Chain A
Amino acid sequence: MSEFEDNLWVTVVRDYGDELARTERTAHTHRRASRPQLLAGTTAGLAAMATTAALLFGASTSPSAFAVTRNADGTVTVNLLHASGIAGANKKLAAMGVRAQIAVQAKTPPQLVCPGGTAPTITFDPASIPNSQELVIAPGQSSASEGAALKAESNGSGNTGSGDTSGGGNHVIRIDPGGGNIRTYSGADNHVVRMYCP
């Protein structure tokens, strides 16, 4: 898109993003049988998540705003520098056949760059995502303590816990097929993985 169109989209998201994100037009869409979501632990959890999280921010998808890479070992690494790259990253994940989508909190800042100019990142193993489920990735800048914990885990010094592995200096999210749970940076079975500063 052109610069004018990019800037206009930023205005639309700023002024109408929340309203549009809250808009449900389900009467106009085909309903399908619901399937279990990694994010969907309980009905209450769903309702809470609907109001607090997972609203695509999206602006223009400039190629530099994101990177989605399939690694030699089959894992996938997602880097995201700017919220405007979310839509493009999600499209690429879908095109790669990876059942993972990036969702952001409504107040996620447009710029996601880490100190030092690096991009928040996450590496996960798509093969470990259960067939009927989808991985939800929440980007954003972790707090200093969160980032430190993630970094410690990425170095293999943290308590990775059941269902998680780390190796080769990369923190790889693996999902326990039995429980369908993903261990997060906080150690809780939160079902949402967060990107972190490398």
Chain B
Amino acid sequence: MATEASVTRNLRGGALAEFEEVYRSNVGLVAAYFARRCWEPQEVADLTSETIVRAAGSFGAFDPRRGSARAWLFGIAAHVWAGYCAHVAESRDAMGRLAGYRALETSEIDELASKIDAQQAGRELLERCSMLSPNERAAIELVDLADLTPKEAAAALNVPRGVLRMRLSRARARLRKEHCVDE
């Protein structure tokens, strides 16, 4: 039987209202995450949609005691991106794998193209990070580009905070060093 507390919660919107808050606060950041990686608006749209749909389907399992919703969502985004890359690497139809999402309207294509353009600086930073290890690169991106706190980034990457801080510190030191050499 549903408890009064749980019903009260549902009456006020339940998990749908809660998920809406998560969505509103983070969907732009998730789209930007993919806009730094892709050149095609439809690709950004499909990857963002895949992330959000996976999140919606598993929101009941999200436990805020283990990390923020943003960290949880970026963890999903990272999985979506890794899966997508694996399919691309295997020369499989990665876009086909994401099929099922609607084709974008012209206005949405323009909008996402602008977002891709706006992520140019972030893309360049990621390119500069190519000399870093994947783990260091992920730490830099989540904290310095995606605006996650180190604590959230640690949760998103499923590593202890100390490990995240170490990766971040090491990555920044190497980038500073490279920057000095360039100058």
A13, B16: Cβ atoms under 8 Å? yes
A31, B5: Cβ atoms under 8 Å? yes
Which residues does chain A contribute within 8 Å of B65, judged by CB atoms?
28
Query: CB-defined interface of B65-92 with A at 8 Å, one 1/0 digit per residue?
Result: 1000000000000000000000000000
Q: Closest approach, in angstroms, between the C-beta of A1 and any C-beta of chain B? A: 7
Give bound CA distance, A7 to B60, whole Å.
23
Which residue of A has the minimal Cβ distance to B112?
A4
Query: CB-defined interface of A1-37 with B at 8 Å, one 1/0 digit per residue?
Result: 1111101110111011101111111101101101001
- Whether B119 sits at the interface, judged by CB under 8 Å, is no
A20, B108: Cβ atoms under 8 Å? no
Query: CB-defined interface of B101-116 with A at 8 Å, one 1/0 digit per residue?
Result: 1101101100110000
Chain A binding surface SS class: helix
B5, A8: Cβ atoms under 8 Å? no
Which residue of A has the minimal Cβ distance to B5?
A31
A7, B108: Cβ atoms under 8 Å? yes
- Whether A127 sits at the interface, judged by CB under 8 Å, is no
Give bound CA distance, A4 to B4, whole Å.
37
A8, B49: Cβ atoms under 8 Å? yes
- Whether A136 sits at the interface, judged by CB under 8 Å, is yes
Which residues does chain B contribute within 8 Å of A2, judged by CB atoms?
28, 108, 111
B20, A46: Cβ atoms under 8 Å? no
- Whether B143 sits at the interface, judged by CB under 8 Å, is no
- Which of B50-58, B128-136, B164-172 lines the interface with chain A? B50-58
CB-CB contacts below 8 Å: A22-60 with B = 22-26, 28-29, 31-32, 34, 37, 39-40, 43, 46-47, 49-50, 54-58
Which residues does chain B contribute within 8 Å of A11, judged by CB atoms?
49, 53, 101-102
Number of interface residues of A (CB under 8 A): 45
Give bound CA distance, A28 to B60, whole Å.
10
- Whether A103 sits at the interface, judged by CB under 8 Å, is yes
Q: Closest approach, in angstroms, between the C-beta of A108 and any C-beta of chain B? A: 12
Q: Closest approach, in angstroms, between the C-beta of B143 and any C-beta of chain A? A: 24
B5, A37: Cβ atoms under 8 Å? no
- Whether B181 sits at the interface, judged by CB under 8 Å, is no
Which residue of B has the minimal Cβ distance to A136?
B11
Q: Closest approach, in angstroms, between the C-beta of B8 and any C-beta of chain A? A: 6
B residues near A (Cβ < 8 Å) are: 1-20, 23-24, 27-28, 31, 45, 48-49, 52-53, 56-57, 59-60, 62-65, 101-102, 104-105, 107-108, 111-112
